[in-house]
Amino acid sequence: MPELPEVEVTRLSFAPGIRGATIRSASLGKPLRWPLGIAPQQLVGQQVLGVRRRGKYLLIDLSEGLLLLHLGMSGSVIFASAQAEPGKHDHFDLHTSQGTLRLNDPRRFGAVVFASSQDDPEANKLLGRLGVEPLGEDFDGAAFYEGLQQRKTAIKQVLLAGEVVVGVGNIYASEALFIAGIRPTTRANRLSRPRVRKLQDAICTVLARAVEKGGSTLRDFSNAQGESGHFQLEAMVYARQGEPCRQCGTAIKSIKQGQRSTFFCPQCQKP
């Protein structure tokens, strides 16, 4: 599943090229997770003002409204001056004066939704409960600590929920907790201020590094130019169960938390 770094890498790979473009047409394939909300023809003539990101959502600002694009479990976008005829897994094309943006999603858990503004109830339904952005200036250590103090569940689960801090998905939660030396099963409200500060720094470090490396390509992720990511090659614990810890040599363990695989070093990460 594309996580925050993959979504940010995707944004960076097509935002400059589509900025300022005029929409010439839009077309839909098979139904996605949520409906577009308007007839595709209503997008014609609008100008693309820019592309932002909120959590794992891409926000395409238009001259009148915005499109919220989510990649779901297996989605990716391609932006090119010319595209072949849509295939069976191509479900949305946005044809502009500067190229075509295409959403490919084999499992169809992704979506493209129109909203009149970010304050629109439709947008608020998707974005309203998202936590603070971990790569932004608003990621405040004191607020992060207070948010964790209110959660009695395991810290890994709190990170995945996205209500305290958004976008720290499964891969990067495992990696950040390793760097911070925190066992994934530790209750969030048991973490001291110094440990929370280490975790905050680790989250920022891991996510920034993942963006720098183009994200993680575990199966088929690629950015809007078709380029794969390479962060997975330097993962410390993720998907390394049974292999020696790169730091102490102890075998990496894997457990299930909320039906997701969690990876950690039993020696380096303390409860």
The catalytic residue positions are: 2-3, 56, 260
> Residue holding tokens 């110094």?
194
Beta-carbon contacts of 126 under 8 Å, excluding residues fewer than 6 positions away, are 57, 68, 70, 113
Residue burial 104-113, b: 16+ Cβ < 10 Å; e: rest? bbbebebbbb
Distance, in Å, from the CA atom of 161 to the CA atom of 158, rounded to the nearest integer, reads 5
Three-state DSSP state, 232: helix
**CA nearest neighbour of 8 among 62, 77, 63, 67:** 77
For residue 29, the number of C-alpha atoms closer than 13 Å in the C-beta half-sphere is 20
Distance, in Å, from the CA atom of 204 to the CA atom of 227, rounded to the nearest integer, reads 23
Question: Could you count the other beta carbons within 10 Å of the beta carbon of residue 249?
Answer: 9
Distance, in Å, from the CA atom of 59 to the CA atom of 51, rounded to the nearest integer, reads 6
CA distances from 247 to 44, 119, 200 (A): 55, 47, 20
